[in-house]
Each structure stands twice: as structure tokens, then as C-alpha cells.
Amino acid sequence: MCSSTIRLQLEEKELIKAHKLAEEWGFSSVEEVLKEFIKRFLNKNVVTSSNLTQKITLTKKAKTRYKQMNEDFKIEKDISIAKSVDDFLAQLNA
């Protein structure tokens, strides 16, 4: 197996924080964290900001439904207010 060395430039306080966090998460070292990340990265099994920002498009029916819900909230239609935990539980069980 061939191996390569990757060099990272970090401030000392960042490296210390990374070592502590790696230990908290059950890793033996920061190197182990990076190896695990690279394995997941190669399998496309990593959450990145680019795959979290997918645009969600509502259907016309859903838009109409949410618009009506917002209007109902404004006029407090079909809204119950509980003054205590017991009152809340009674409303749930009603």
C-alpha cells in the first residue's frame, strides 16, 4: 500500500482544540478524523454546504394551503391557548 503525507497549516490553538474534540468524539487522533473524512468523501458520503442548500419548491396546492394557514393564524382561527400544563393536557385529550 502506498501512502502519502498531507500537510496542513493550522494555528497551535486550532490544533489543540481539534485534538480535544477528536478525543471527545472517540477518535485516537486528528489524523484518524481526517482519514475517516477522506474515506467518506471518496464514497460521496459527506454532508457539505452545497448538498444542504437544495431549493425546495412547493406545489400550487401547498402554497395555497400555507397561505390559508397563515391567514387563520393571524385571526386566531382554530387556535387553542393553554394557561397551564393541566389545561394543555386536557385540550390534547379532548
Question: What is the pTM (predicted TM-score) of this model?
Answer: 0.48
pLDDT of residue 52: 60
SS in 3 state form for 61-79?
HHHHHHHHHHHHHHCCCCC
Q: Is the pLDDT of residue 11 over 90?
A: yes
Task: State pLDDT tens for residues 47-91.
Answer: 766 656 667 788 999 999 999 999 998 898 888 888 999 999 998
Q: What are the residue ranges spanned by the domains of the chain?
A: 60-93
What is the mean pLDDT of the segment spanning 30-46?
88
Cα-Cα end-to-end distance for the chain? 67
